[in-house]
Structure 1
């Protein structure tokens, strides 16, 4: 088991109060039993997160909707857990959902993990969503610098020439300038201009 997996499971064990339900769900190999928790009434959030995480890691697409909801949660640990599981899930809807969350101005405070997930997925939706999100973060006095920096870093990783204009604009923002310069250096020059 990877270190991230152990950390997620230990956090959820603590949140459950080391309950018998936690131990049963953590030990279960029955995907149908786990999936039933996602739709059963009155299940605690930690239980839904636990089964969505486990199903996501196993590639069971029944976890998709629950993981997307957790990706947009106010608790960063839940967002990180969902992003990790969604990256492994392999559901073709993931990039579209992450792009919708990253570009939703009403939820921008929770966009950090969707932005990072888009970078990891390298999907067709990734660059346009990161460009849009970064462009909005370049407004004066924008409080979401961590989201902006994650966009710059993601665009550097993706190295797509479509990011060049917004990264050049980011050079004018001191908290982003160094990262934007590095990102621009990683984008190949377009030939034939």
Structure 2
């Protein structure tokens, strides 16, 4: 069982308060540790059954997602844009490994939604990791909106800058130059622009580029 899943189980267990919850938790963990199609089908039922607690859906989605079972997709997308960052991080981790073709489109929709900017950090990071056709346009759209907004939402803006640097697409150059004018984005923007121009190693080391 991978370390991320152990961390998830430890976190969920710490949230439980009643004997009934502990019993349900132990039953679900036993199901996760059972091989075979029947066990996966039972986990998929947890995702859609009424009155299931969020932690149960999260465990089931993680277990199915890392096995490549796309029935986990909808629940993972819901968690990707949840109000608790730790759940967003877990969902992003699994979605990156699920390889569902709908993932990039869903992450782009979450990242660019101006009503959900406060929860866009992990969708933005996921887009950077996926390197999908939707990634650069979504990161550019989000960053340009944040640069123009009164509330810049610095963590999300910085994640966009870092992602655009990682993706290395020259369409981002003008927007990264604009981001460089903001003190809190300047270090990330300088590095991202250097990556676009093939000079990231020079910027990191602090060495001046050679001339001539």
Q: TM-score, normalised by structure 1?
A: 0.93
What does 1:23-172 correspond to in 2, within 5 Å? 23-28=26-31, 29=34, 30-139=39-148, 141-172=150-181
CA offset digits 1:12-51 (Å, max 9, x no partner): 1222346121112122131001000111111111111110
Q: Which residue of 1 is the match for residue 24 of structure 2?
A: 21
Contact 2:5 2:62 in 1 (8 A): no
Deviation at 1:178, TM superposition (A): 1.3
Q: Which residue of 2 is the match for residue 8 of structure 1?
A: 8
Root-mean-square deviation (Å): 1.4
How many residues align? The count is 189
Contact 2:125 2:163 in 1 (8 A): yes
Distance 1:140 1:93, change over 3 A: closer
Deviation at 1:161, TM superposition (A): 0.6
Distance 1:140 1:36, change over 3 A: closer
Question: Larger Cα Rg: Structure 1 or Structure 2?
Answer: 2
Question: What is the rounded CA distance, in whole Å, between the counterparts of 1:129 and 1:178 in structure 2?
Answer: 22
Distance 1:16 1:79, change over 3 A: same
Distance 1:63 1:140, change over 3 A: closer
Deviation at 1:70, TM superposition (A): 0.8
